[in-house]
Amino acid sequence: MLSDLERQDDEIFAIENICSPNQFRYKKKTNIECFFSVSCELANENVLIDYKNVTKKVYIKYLPPVRLYVQLPKDYPSASPPKYNIAINWMTPWQVSLTCQKLDELWQRNESNEILFIWLEFLKSDLLNFLHIEDILEVSYLMELYENPDDEFLLEVLNWTDERVVYGGLFLNPIERLKEYNESRDRFEFESQFHLCDICFCTSAGQMCIRVDGCNHAFCKECILQYLTMKINERYVLIQCPAADCKVKMKCSQIRGICSTELFQKYEEYLFEKQILNMKKLNLVYCPRRFCQKAVYVKFGESLASCPACEYNFCAFCFKVYHGVSACEMDSKEKLQLIKEYESADLAKKKFLDKKYGRHQIRQIVEKQLTNEYLQKNTKACPTCGVVTAKLTGCNLMTCSHCHSQFCWLCNSKIVSSDEYEHFKSTTNGPCSGRLFEPIDNQIDDFDPEVDNGYDIVPNWNLDMFLNMLHARH
């Protein structure tokens, strides 16, 4: 029968032949110490990074590896389990603690047997399924810890974590770290394969190729350099991917990495000239988010502004979240200011205001304002029920058409006397005495079609519309 040390040597030899040097390393001291870097297999091609305040969906196809540090006791595997520490920096503390519990459970099921390969297979193939991570990776806790590193509750959660869990970069931005690793791993995978150039149709090693960001079309470095040289010498600043029917624009940062210093300086000069010309057609606004405040250029007359820093889409007129073709919201003060501004504006200014607020909304605001002014000037509320009443002609003794109570049009007081005209006959009633038939300013006594009575001031003014809204009776 083999001794524990012999069994350990055999296990290490087998794993060394299965794993690459990047995945497994070990050293012998008093005990054997091992380091594993295990990449988890995704159930789907991509996984979505989920966070409650995320402004743009981020998908990744590679997760950072699980780091497992193992020390083999002298009586392993016959009596004692391996001692280990584990680091999974893109998981929550409770998820990593559950992983530790699962590793312990696997040892208990296979006690006195070699366990390292079983652990590796679990971490590689079954870990995400065990934690129910399929299409979405939740990072809200890690993001909140990054944004609020002094939050006592968030820090308290760390005290509940299994003591074998190791943290690295815990207070860094988890989304940025995941994106950086995904890009680095994706680039490594690309460079380790062979690719067909879409220009010369020759196959080259990935290290000799360039992949265009945004469309992933591959070209050999020599061909893409010749293509960029030709385009820049022709003073192109928006350079498309050279693949057939591809409309993706190459990024300035990628062009810099391909071109020589002299060629890129020439490209920058042409780009600067183009930007100066475009700035004459652009309006400068600033991102309304307090933590951002970056400058954003928008075409004159356009409402959609997209911040290049935080990717927030907002209205360039009202600076609220972008609302499409819907008009900007306004409070009552802003509406009054708009009416004054529109009345005094020239034709160009009116066209701009029509674009900003919408012609239909401006018309509604003006009509509503005129309606309110008309009601304030020419109507009064019944002192009993509050129904708005208008007086067109007749005496100042009013009868509400809703509650049938009587009141004085002049002082708006309720009349309860058995002789309703006493209010206008008595000399003790002050200003109302003797004014039963006093006309009002807009009273129509004699209609003459040749005389302008002031009712055509507002185009398409519909007096019947207001009369239908009011309860009038005298």
What is the CATH classification number for the domain harbouring 168? 3.10.110.10
Based on the domain organization, do 137 and 78 belong to the same domain? yes
For tokens 């497992």, the residue is 68
Based on the domain organization, do 155 and 96 belong to the same domain? yes
The β-bridge partners of 220 are 209
C-alpha to C-alpha distance for 16 and 198, rounded to whole angstroms = 40
pLDDT band at 32 (very low <50, low <70, confident <90, very high): very high
Per-residue model confidence (pLDDT) at position 343: 78
- Reported pTM: 0.56
In a domain, 292, yes or no: no
In a domain, 90, yes or no: yes
φ, ψ of residue 230 in degrees (nearest 5): -65, -45
Task: Name which residue leads in pLDDT, 337 or 156.
Answer: 156
Cβ partners under 8 Å of residue 13, min gap 6: none
Mean pLDDT, to the nearest integer, of 52-72? 88
Based on the domain organization, do 212 and 78 belong to the same domain? no
Joined together, the tokens standing for residue 64 give: 């950072």
Does position 138 have pLDDT exceeding 80, yes or no? Answer: yes
Based on the domain organization, do 350 and 414 belong to the same domain? no
Does position 216 have pLDDT exceeding 60, yes or no? Answer: yes
First to last CA, the chain: 118
In a domain, 219, yes or no: yes
In a domain, 320, yes or no: no
The β-bridge partners of 86 are 68, 165
Based on the domain organization, do 248 and 152 belong to the same domain? no
In a domain, 308, yes or no: no
Final residue belonging to a domain, choices 235, 261, 287 = 261
Q: What is the dihedral of CA 235, 237, 238, 240, to 10 degrees?
A: 60
Cβ partners under 8 Å of residue 42, min gap 6: 61, 63, 128
C-alpha to C-alpha distance for 81 and 137, rounded to whole angstroms = 31
Based on the domain organization, do 338 and 362 belong to the same domain? yes
Report the mean per-residue pLDDT for the chain.
84
Tens digit of each residue's pLDDT (9 = 90 or more) over 415-467: 887 887 888 776 565 778 888 887 665 444 443 444 444 333 344 444 444 44
Domain range for residue 399?
Answer: 382-438
What's the CATH number where 228 sits?
3.30.40.10
- Number of Cβ atoms within 10 Å of the Cβ of 237: 19
- Quick one: which of 279, 351, 285, 334 has its CA closest to 314? 285
Based on the domain organization, do 91 and 8 belong to the same domain? yes
Mean pLDDT, to the nearest integer, of 293-306? 82
Based on the domain organization, do 140 and 151 belong to the same domain? yes
- Amino acid found at 402: H
Sign, Cα dihedral of 460, 464, 468, 472 = positive
**CB contact at 8 A, 471 and 388:** yes
In a domain, 231, yes or no: yes
Joined together, the tokens standing for residue 343 give: 């009345």
Based on the domain organization, do 158 and 79 belong to the same domain? yes
Cβ partners under 8 Å of residue 350, min gap 6: 342
- Amino acid found at 48: L
Tens digit of each residue's pLDDT (9 = 90 or more) over 169-204: 788 899 999 999 999 999 999 999 999 998 999 999
pLDDT band at 210 (very low <50, low <70, confident <90, very high): very high
What length is written for the chain? 474
Based on the domain organization, do 357 and 386 belong to the same domain? no
**CB contact at 8 A, 285 and 298:** yes
In a domain, 356, yes or no: yes
- Number of Cβ atoms within 10 Å of the Cβ of 112: 12
Based on the domain organization, do 198 and 154 belong to the same domain? no
Per-residue model confidence (pLDDT) at position 386: 86
pLDDT band at 25 (very low <50, low <70, confident <90, very high): very high
**CB contact at 8 A, 61 and 181:** no
Q: What domain count does the chain have?
A: 4
Based on the domain organization, do 57 and 106 belong to the same domain? yes
445: DSSP letter: S
Final residue belonging to a domain, choices 261, 290, 306 = 261
In a domain, 18, yes or no: yes
